[in-house]
Amino acid sequence: MTPALAVHPLGLVIAAVFAVSMSSLLWWMMHPPEPVGQAVAHALYSVGAVRRILVPVEGRPHNNRAVELACRLGQDQKAEIVLGSVIEVPMALPLGTTLPAEEERANAHLAEAADLVRLHDLVPISVLERDRQAGRGMVRIARDSDVDLAVVGLDPHRVAAGGIIGRTIESLLRQAGIEVIIDFSPEV
């Protein structure tokens, strides 16, 4: 005579868990995620790799909008936001000439932009540069600060008047060797 087969309730539970987990594993293996194209993967990686973002600051509404956009772009990776301002020193004056009114105005604009960056719990880095040309000074800030990306606001009044991008934006596009995002909002 063969002994009677006894079924223990714990054994049934273990067998059910094993069967469900194996069938879930097989279903997952048979339904792989959609492949992502190489261009999409590169774009996702490159945006995620941004650690420092440069924003030129002049104290105008379109600049504040660019600061906001830079903060949102750098939010996930906790990027540092480099706020750059350039005091253009006239050719008739030595480069080291003190220009207290311009310096005070530039520092006030940088402080305002830094407050906006802090609202997003990001680290602002304010840089005040002196140069003969704002574009060249901004390119120097980009290189010295080792930024990955620049976000610049385009003046809607300039565009409405038939102008195009300014010399500073053009210098960043041509000479900085970094990705540049131009924000244009006609409602500013």
Per-residue pLDDT at 1 = 61
Per-residue pLDDT at 178 = 86
Query: Does residue 112 sit in helix, strand or coil?
Result: helix
Q: For residues 54 and 142, give the distance between their C-alpha atoms in angstroms, rounded to a whole number.
A: 7
Taking a C-beta distance cutoff of 8 angstroms, is the pair 112, 59 a contact? yes
Per-residue pLDDT at 2 = 67
Burial (CB < 10 A; 0-12, 13-18, 19+), residue 166, is middle
Per-residue pLDDT at 82 = 94
Q: For residues 150 and 131, give the distance between their C-alpha atoms in angstroms, rounded to a whole number.
A: 19
Per-residue pLDDT of the chain (188 residues; tens, 9 = 90+): 667 777 888 888 999 999 999 999 999 988 887 777 777 766 666 666 788 999 999 878 888 899 999 999 998 889 999 999 998 888 888 888 888 888 999 999 999 999 999 999 999 999 999 888 888 888 899 999 999 898 988 877 666 566 667 777 788 778 888 888 888 777 64
The edge-to-edge listing of strands for the beta sheet with 179-183 is 123-131, 80-88, 52-56, 149-153, 179-183
CATH superfamily, region 50-183: HUPs (3.40.50.620)
Number of H helices and E strands in the chain, helices first, is: 7, 5
Domain boundaries, the chain: 50-183
